[in-house]
Structure 1
Amino acid sequence: MSQTPNDPAGSTQQFQQWAYQQQGQPEKGAKVNVGLIAGVVAVLALVAIIVVALMISM
């Protein structure tokens, strides 16, 4: 017995149900990456400390 893949485009009703379910889910790309922001802040703080240390030593 062969199994057919579960294709949401297989029938109109299945596709409409699949499309309706997708509307309620938030986009994955809209999420803010907290780790990236924390990394950028850490790098900026490190650069600021280095600049201040170089200015004091002169």
Structure 2
Amino acid sequence: MSQTPNDPAGTTHQFQNFAGQGPQQPEKAPGMNKGLVLGIAAVVVVVAIIAIAVVLM
């Protein structure tokens, strides 16, 4: 049986390179999505316009 050599220095070096790279994808800021907030605001405005139109009829 052939065994692959175990090189701790090589794996440590590889790990240090990996750790030094930082996050691959930018993290999203916590909080609500701006598109969701704008969508909800648009729905509220439309409902308010419809309610005012119904009251004035």
* TM-score, normalised by the number of residues in structure 1: 0.49
Report which of the two structures shows the higher radius of gyration computed on alpha carbons: 2
Which one scores higher on RCO, CA 8 angstroms, separation ≥ 6? 1
